[in-house]
Amino acid sequence: MALTLSSSLSQQIAAVHSADRLVWLIELVRTASVTNYYALSTEDIVYNGRTYTKIAGEIADISQEEGTMTELRLALSNVSRSIQGFIEAGEVLNRKTTLRLVSTQFLQNTTHELTIALYVSDAMATEQAVALTLSFWDLAGQPFPKNRFSRDRCQFVFKDAATCQYSGAVTTCDKSYASSSGCLGRDNQANYGAFIHILTGPATTTIP
């Protein structure tokens, strides 16, 4: 799925709100229960009753094919290392990110906004910035069935309170059961999110 964008869209919005400042708001989903809210602004923005925390960044690049947007690249400051930490913890990737272009004159009115919902398909970090590639959900490229049974890799998001439940100081996990970098090393085998009793070789069934 792609969103058709007029080449004059930004100019049209600016013409309607010529006296206003346009601000991009970002809703970055980390886990099923946690979403972070940011504003590409020099100050926090309260929009529709919710506070979006200021962050330095930009919409770095928009890819188009035959007049339709296929993906965009979002660059955000990495000074605090917080977003980099989310990525290293197994969050953010393949999760929904919503971008809202709003006018500072209509912060209590959601009818005056441009909304784009995408998914984080790639992420990389440097000391200065985190670069996120945002794409439309590619149904044809998704694994089927979505939920699979595995013995070797935990399916839970690391440190998710409802599933993994690890709350220690370690910030990464290799998703394994018996390694020092996985559940064993964090004394968290009871919450391993895979099926260690699945057989690794061919099963033999004896019929009397």
Question: What would the pLDDT profile of 97-127 be if each residue is shown by its tens digit?
Answer: 999 988 888 787 666 678 888 888 888 888 8
Is residue 106 within 8 A of residue 68, CB to CB? The reply is no
Question: Which range is least confidently modeled, 93-102, 152-161, 175-184, 195-204?
Answer: 195-204
**Rounded CA separation 137/54 (Å):** 27
* Helices and strands, counts by H and E, the chain: 2, 10
The pLDDT, as a whole number, for residue 80 is 83
**Rounded CA separation 95/162 (Å):** 17
CA–centroid distance for 103 within its chain: 24
Q: What percent of the chain has pLDDT over 90?
A: 20
How large is the average pLDDT for residues 59-84? 75
Higher pLDDT, 17 or 26: 26
Higher pLDDT, 151 or 139: 151
Q: What percent of the chain has pLDDT over 70?
A: 73
The pLDDT, as a whole number, for residue 35 is 93
Contacts of residue 64, Cβ cutoff 8 Å, sequence gap at least 6:
5, 70
pLDDT at 51 over 90: yes
Query: How many residues does this entry show for the chain?
Result: 208
pLDDT at 204 over 90: no
pLDDT at 6 over 60: no
The pLDDT, as a whole number, for residue 67 is 54
Query: Which of 141, 123, 142, 143 is closest to 133 using CA atoms?
Result: 123
Question: Which range is least confidently modeled, 31-45, 99-113, 143-157?
Answer: 143-157
**Rounded CA separation 76/58 (Å):** 7
Question: Which range is least confidently modeled, 30-39, 120-129, 130-139, 150-159?
Answer: 130-139
The rounded radius of gyration (Å) of the Cα atoms in the chain is 21
How large is the average pLDDT for residues 170-189? 90
CA–centroid distance for 175 within its chain: 19
